[in-house]
Structure 1
Amino acid sequence: MASTTASSPGRAPRPPLNTVLPPLLLGTATFNTQYVANPHAMPYRDIVARAIALGVTGFDTSPYYGPSELLLGEALHALMNPTPTPSNPNPTPLQRSDFFLVTKAGRIAATEFDYSPSWIRYSVLRSLQRLHVPYLDLVYTHDCEFVTPGEVLAAVKELRRLRDEEGVVRYVGISGFPVNVLCDLAEMIYKETGEPLDAVLSYGHLTVQNRRLGLPFVEGGGKGQADVEGSPLVRLKKAGVDVVLNASMLGMGLLTSKGIPVTDDTGSPLAKWHPSPPELRLACMKLAELAAAAGERLESVSLRWSLAEWARVAAEAGVGVDFTSPGSSEGRKIGVAVCGVSSTPELEETVAEWRGAVSSLGQEEDGSNDKYGPARQKKVLSLVREQLWPALGSWLDYAWDSPGEGFVNTRKDSNRGVVPDDGVIAAYEKAKRSRQSR
């Protein structure tokens, strides 16, 4: 389904996304007040620089994530324009081709969406400016379940026009929470345009608590033929989607040692906006107790399980990417994960767990002393299957409604398509004329 295609006459062919997308991306939704009190005080430059040093060359952001695009852009710009120091008078600048940049468009605020072509174009051009780059590798329509299918189709068409006519976007996809909606929209877009989506980003649906995206392929999920044929990944594959990405493996903070307070009067940023019901929060706190009794942190167990299962499941379903392990000459397909962190130690643990998960695929316990190797894989799978899933009971595979009951898009009809006169478009048009006159 995915093939090498030209973006526009005279433009270099685009290889299939599955051949160029990194298998692990740093998600920067955490560079936002929804997760931390003051994202500007985060060590965001150190996190991004350390990610590059560890080989994590993909970054996922959105204009909806507060200052995330600005902070990520500042960090990348500093790496692309390094300051000489006495110890390193000739630093090597990061090149634009050295990293893969993903953002989104269409979601403005918690209850405000504008998927009109003019807003989508404005949002993309503003992202270019904030991120200090001439093009974006992949752009999604953000949280597409909140608008009509017709609006999603119009936005995708505009993103493809920006790809083909203006060359500022390379690949196009959609993102959202309910997997059935993602499948419906992917099928509709393929049917209406004759061109499949490059990517679909799902979040919160391949976790220790909610396995819906990967059923029935996940370990312990069963494999009846009818279940396989109607499963989300099979539907997406049939709709021609090249790559499916898995994000929010900790359930947006549910699957952590601290958990999410049942009430929002604790001062926790998460407690105020997280859509989970109180009973689910309590159930996940019980998981943290079980993990601690086994000498583990719930976030470590949850992260390892999701990374390992998604790496395997996405490949099995045909929606993974090409990957060759360092030091190996043999490539394989694995699933793409998007992980958010708020510190460099969290980043380093995430990368270590990911490397261990990938290296353990298809291997039996080998007696290795590597704390992240196959022995850990076996321990995590056993803990999840024998203790965590039974403890969840009816909350296993539960997903809240999105949008919730009574949702109304607060973007007024008269304002849809109206873009700010803030100089973003004027600056882009001026730069384009300058390039054309050379």
Structure 2
Amino acid sequence: MSTSQPRQTLQLPTIVLGGSGFSYQVHPNPKSVPVSKIIRHAFDVGIRAIDTSPYYDPSEHLLGEALVSPDVASRYSRSDYVLMTKVGRISVDNFDYSPEWVRESVRTSLERLRTTYLDAVFCHDIEFVTIPEAIEAVGTLFELSMKGLVRYVGVSGYDLDRLVYVAHAVREKYGRSLDVVQNWAQLTMQNTRLERYGIPALKEAGVPVICNSSPLASGLLRASGVPLGTLGDWHPAPNGLRVAVKRASDWVETQDTTLAGLALRFSVARATRASQNGVSVHTLLGICSINDIEENVRAVRSILVLEPAVGDGVNNSNVTISHLKSLNEAVEQRDLVLSQTVRQILGDWAEYDFNKGPVKQTVLPWWPGLSAGISAGVLVVGISFLLFSRTSFSMFLNHVRS
């Protein structure tokens, strides 16, 4: 299958709303959440892209009902927002990447989300299936994209090596690059591997759009600790890392900010710095309430500002966070000093990998222009994981992208 014709790039706002917040994994009673009001408020402030998955039960059902509700549909048409979901992951330890299931999953998602097309579909958590299975599933999604059911095709997961390898293999096999890749908890104050390695390596594979989900490391980087849903304490962070994060949070609060706010500003700033030379990086946040939206918007508005050429011609009352493209460098520099101290408090837990364990840090993540200065040519992906099928840390299957 050769699909090498020029394609438009998926357009996403700075912040993408993660639908896992409307799931039993995160919320004890997601059906009680006022999803339509949350979506309407998110759209109003400029968060007009949603990412979900059949695995985040009952997120797709709730989102579909919300998107056709008067709260949302009276103001926003289908073309006003981006709707993304996933295929392949059915439950905690059940995956099906077969062509038949991928087609059925897309059909079911279309019904649940009350739409005739999906802007993007990811193969969900590809590190838990074989590489040939992941590549075949991508091919099935490419076929669906040619039928107009899916506009853009991507893969998601934690394992950056696997994501990079599959991205290169897809381009080699199909003559078409992936449109988007989603990685979680690796462009944070605690783990910066997506910026140091993943973004340059994915760019080499022709991937133009990257979603950094879980800027708070699945709820780790906040004062209240990791989230607890109906699945209990699933978070892969060891106790030592949690203790270090608590110490860091206590210190940050003496600096007139919060760990969650600082962590989000850090990730958004690094994503903005990395969005250059044909690659755009977007931050995906799990949201459960209007208050979550307001807290996130405050953080984004403090680190991003209107571009100088645009600012003079925009009525401030009409400005949403989607208009904010430039860094507030004064806030960025202040935050980088705080972030450096946080990482010193974390000590050996800085750059700890939930899959591989401790990883030695070789580059300071807050150097301006870091992404542009890394040569992807020296970031060679090893092939030792080629036969790797399913990782052993099954509990992090239940991760939360928040």
Question: Which TM-score band (shorter chain)?
Answer: 0.7 to 0.9
Letter of the 2:177 counterpart: P
Q: Does 1:172 align with 2:138?
A: no
Letter of the 1:202 counterpart: N
Q: Does 1:247 align with 2:238?
A: no
- Deviation, 1:58, is 0.6
In structure 2, the residue matched to 1:203 is 184
Question: Residue 155 of structure 1: which of 124, 128, 137 is its match?
Answer: 137
In structure 1, the residue matched to 2:355 is 401
Question: Residue 52 of structure 2: which of 61, 68, 84 is its match?
Answer: 61
In structure 2, C-alpha distance between the alignment counterparts of 1:340 and 1:268, rounded to whole Å: 13
Letter of the 1:205 counterpart: Q
Aligned residues: 343
In structure 2, the residue matched to 1:16 is 9
Between Structure 1 and Structure 2, whose CA radius of gyration is higher? 1
Counterpart of 1:25 in 2: which secondary structure?
Answer: strand
- Deviation, 1:202, is 0.8
- Cα RMSD, aligned residues only: 2.5
In structure 1, C-alpha distance between the alignment counterparts of 2:87 and 2:162, rounded to whole Å: 18
- Deviation, 1:192, is 1.6
| Residue segments in structure 1 that go unaligned for 5+ positions in a row | 7-13, 83-91, 216-230, 262-266, 321-334, 363-371, 409-438
Q: TM-score, normalised by structure 1?
A: 0.73
CA gap 1:59/1:200 in 2 versus in 1, 3 angstroms: same
Q: Does 1:349 align with 2:295?
A: yes
Q: Does 1:186 align with 2:167?
A: yes
**Contact kept? 2:36, 2:71, Cα under 8 Å:** no
CA gap 1:152/1:64 in 2 versus in 1, 3 angstroms: same
In structure 2, the residue matched to 1:234 is 200
**Contact kept? 2:54, 2:87, Cα under 8 Å:** yes
Q: Does 1:96 align with 2:42?
A: no
**Contact kept? 1:60, 1:101, Cα under 8 Å:** yes
- Deviation, 1:78, is 0.7
- Deviation, 1:339, is 1.3
Relative contact order (alpha carbons < 8 A, sep ≥ 6): 1 or 2 greater? Answer: 2
Counterpart of 2:105 in 1: which secondary structure?
Answer: helix
Q: Does 1:78 align with 2:69?
A: yes
**Contact kept? 2:25, 2:229, Cα under 8 Å:** no
In structure 1, C-alpha distance between the alignment counterparts of 2:157 and 2:307, rounded to whole Å: 28
CA gap 1:260/1:157 in 2 versus in 1, 3 angstroms: same
Q: Does 1:381 align with 2:336?
A: yes
In structure 2, the residue matched to 1:260 is 226
In structure 2, C-alpha distance between the alignment counterparts of 1:288 and 1:214, rounded to whole Å: 23
In structure 1, the residue matched to 2:100 is 118
Letter of the 2:355 counterpart: D
**Contact kept? 1:360, 1:377, Cα under 8 Å:** no
In structure 1, C-alpha distance between the alignment counterparts of 2:88 and 2:391, rounded to whole Å: 18
Counterpart of 2:69 in 1: which secondary structure?
Answer: helix
Counterpart of 1:50 in 2: which secondary structure?
Answer: helix
- Deviation, 1:30, is 1.0
1:323-348, Cα deviation, whole Å (9 max, x unpaired):
xxxxxxxxxxxx21111222112202
- Deviation, 1:193, is 1.5
Letter of the 2:126 counterpart: C
**Contact kept? 2:36, 2:72, Cα under 8 Å:** no
In structure 2, the residue matched to 1:295 is 256
- Deviation, 1:94, is 2.1
CA gap 1:407/1:149 in 2 versus in 1, 3 angstroms: same
Letter of the 1:176 counterpart: G
**Contact kept? 1:77, 1:132, Cα under 8 Å:** yes
